[in-house]
Structure 1
Amino acid sequence: MDLTAWLLRLTPPRPFVVATPGGTGARVAVERVVRERGWQPAASPAEGNILVVAGPVSDDLRPAVEQVWSLFPRPCARADIDSASAAPARLAAAADALGDPDRQRRPRAAHPHHDRRGAEPPMADRARDRDGLMLDRLHVPLGPVLPDWPAGLVVRTALQGDVIQDATVTTTGLGHARQVSPWDSPTGFVARRLDSCARLLSVVGWPDASATARRLRDDVLRSDVLRGDRRARTATALARWAGRVRRSRTLRWSLAGVGRTPPVPSTPPELGGDAWDRVGSWLDSAVRTFDRPGSAAGLDRAPETRWALEALPTLLDGNELACARILVASLDPDLDTLARREAPHG
């Protein structure tokens, strides 16, 4: 065994997981397998070595996916997973490719449909700030290929310093989304709330609480969760975790005042207040609804998603870029709900 092969055998998989519209079920399955195998997810291509794309990759999304793939340093591998059932085998194959010295020595082949025209690197110009001074302005796109980011969402920001002076919101890939969702079950509403909490906690930098939320989400989605002792154990674990999150002063300090929505009748009740208020609402509804399975089944999230997309530019204006991902995660629009109802937003 040569040195390269020996080092590759010692290289732990670090998956960088991104989702596309229609890929929610695949993403949830990927996150479960990653947790069960003890792999540590990566927050960026620079620290990752497996790109995991959960969901179908449409022509309009492919340039962004390929741009991210080009940023991965060697050794690296890629797993395109378009269904939940494919997750274990595809991830295992990617891990094998990561540890294969022959594959790692080969030149990285470009995707046959690779096209960099859709890539959006940051660009700069000059514009007047709010005091009338001419200052540099940097254009920074967020999405659509980011971890813990709404699948298909693109936010284009114009920054002066680290403050967002202008933001536009579009969507991509919705026309190809398949409407197979893990949330379509008696416990799907609870699982969806836990998923939203997990993504926000990950973005804000509390990985332990985020991992627990994902484990509870997966437990809630088990077919036998509502029977016997398992239901009682899950309810106890859910309540204990929710109490821990509510008591976190650091989390409250991080979220209070972020993304405060207008207190008007048109604001959906689920999206009222600031990011801290929304987390509290998610926790309360998850605990309450688990005690009454099926009570929230069939709820249509399309109206609140449409509202969030329309409100995001105003909510983001004047915020620091560091708050942008927290703000988006606290609204957590589910763009898959729009795929059957309307053409892509924007």
Structure 2
Amino acid sequence: MLRLALQGDVVQEVTGVEVVEAAPAPRPPFWDEPWRQAAAGAPVRGAAARRRCAAHLDSLGRFLAVADWPDAAARARRLRDAALAGAPARELAHAVERLTRRVGRSRTLRWLTSGIGVLPREQALAAGIGGPALAADGDAWDRTVRWLTEAARSAAACDDRRPLAPDDPAGPRGAWRAVPALPRLAGRPAAPAARRGTGRRPAHPRQPRPRPGRTRPGGRREVTRG
């Protein structure tokens, strides 16, 4: 649970982190199932690629929704569902590549997310964080690019019937024990609401940025979110 200082709906500061114990999961993580099957000797390279593609599209869809780009978020979620439903690799790879080009070329999204949530590789390792956050070795934009790249690569391999590669030992999400890193990831003030129009208009080099010093109504207040 994070304790936040807000100004309007903009996070200004993380004032505290509290661990809330959750009930044990009733079943193993969904995203890791092919890797568990591989440990039993099943040839699951294609199934693992399909699950990895869907997992990264799921992360991307949630991220784009937060960034206020509902059209792209909905597209990522539809492709996630198609991957899990067994869409042919060629068809899925083409659709994911189109999404990758669209999101990856967005100057507005890159401006929105660059410099936010910086997590260098050394700090991720020290905090016990794995998966895309570790591999990205950077900020929120770097993690977005990682999701896109891995989703496109995995989509093309969804029909591969060979055994899992020896250098692919873990599921798509990796370890995530990020409590020590949360203040660093969320503590930087978020962008003003004027920066949240991602995808609603074409990005342009001359697009005006919010003028410094402007404030949102509502004032600064303490809230608790879990």
Return 5+ residue gaps in structure 2 as ranges: 35-46, 159-163, 197-226
CA offsets, 1:233-283, max 9 Å, x none?
Answer: 211111111111101111111111111113527264335201001000111
Q: C-alpha distance in 2, partners of 1:211/1:300?
A: 21
8 Å Cα contact 1:197-1:279 kept in structure 2: yes
8 Å Cα contact 1:193-1:286 kept in structure 2: yes
* Pair 1:247 & 2:96 matched: no
Q: C-alpha distance in 1, partners of 2:135/2:117?
A: 13
Which position in structure 1 is the counterpart of 2:82?
219
Deviation at 1:286, TM superposition (A): 1.1
Q: C-alpha distance in 2, partners of 1:179/1:248?
A: 36
1:264 match: secondary structure: helix
The worse-fitting range, judged by mean Cα deviation, of 278-287 and 265-274 is 265-274
**Counterpart residue type for residue 155 of structure 1:** L
Deviation at 1:298, TM superposition (A): 4.4
Q: 1:282 aligns with which of 147, 154, 169?
A: 147
Q: 1:171 to 1:179 in 2, by over 3 A?
A: farther
8 Å Cα contact 1:183-1:191 kept in structure 2: no
Q: Equivalent pairs: percent with the same residue?
A: 35
Q: C-alpha distance in 1, partners of 2:116/2:137?
A: 12
Q: C-alpha distance in 2, partners of 1:309/1:193?
A: 22
Please say which structure displays the higher CA radius of gyration. Answer: 1
Which position in structure 1 is the counterpart of 2:33?
184
**Counterpart residue type for residue 171 of structure 2:** L
Q: Could you state the TM-score of these two structures normalised by the residue count of structure 2?
A: 0.62
**Counterpart residue type for residue 170 of structure 1:** V
Q: 1:292 aligns with which of 136, 142, 157?
A: 157
Which position in structure 1 is the counterpart of 2:186?
316
Q: C-alpha distance in 2, partners of 1:312/1:157?
A: 11
8 Å Cα contact 2:62-2:73 kept in structure 1: yes
* Pair 1:202 & 2:65 matched: yes
**Counterpart residue type for residue 4 of structure 2:** T
Deviation at 1:158, TM superposition (A): 4.0
1:184 match: secondary structure: helix
1:170 match: secondary structure: coil
Q: How does 1:1-346 map to 2 (within 5 A)?
A: 154-159=1-6, 163-179=12-28, 181=30, 184-185=33-34, 186=47, 187-223=50-86, 225=87, 230-264=88-122, 266=125, 268=130, 269-293=134-158, 296=168, 298-299=170-171, 301-303=173-175, 305-306=176-177, 308-320=178-190
Q: C-alpha distance in 2, partners of 1:281/1:204?
A: 17
**Counterpart residue type for residue 64 of structure 2:** L
CA offsets, 1:2-44, max 9 Å, x none?
Answer: xxxxxxxxxxxxxxxxxxxxxxxxxxxxxxxxxxxxxxxxxxx
Which position in structure 1 is the counterpart of 2:216?
none
Q: C-alpha distance in 1, partners of 2:191/2:114?
A: 16
Q: Could you state the TM-score of these two structures normalised by the residue count of structure 1?
A: 0.42
8 Å Cα contact 2:6-2:12 kept in structure 1: yes
8 Å Cα contact 2:2-2:14 kept in structure 1: no
Higher share of residues assigned strand: 1
Deviation at 1:289, TM superposition (A): 1.9
8 Å Cα contact 2:96-2:155 kept in structure 1: no
Which position in structure 1 is the counterpart of 2:212?
none
Q: C-alpha distance in 2, partners of 1:297/1:235?
A: 23
**Counterpart residue type for residue 30 of structure 2:** S
Q: C-alpha distance in 2, partners of 1:208/1:163?
A: 28
Return 5+ residue gaps in structure 1 as ranges: 1-153, 327-346
8 Å Cα contact 2:61-2:73 kept in structure 1: yes
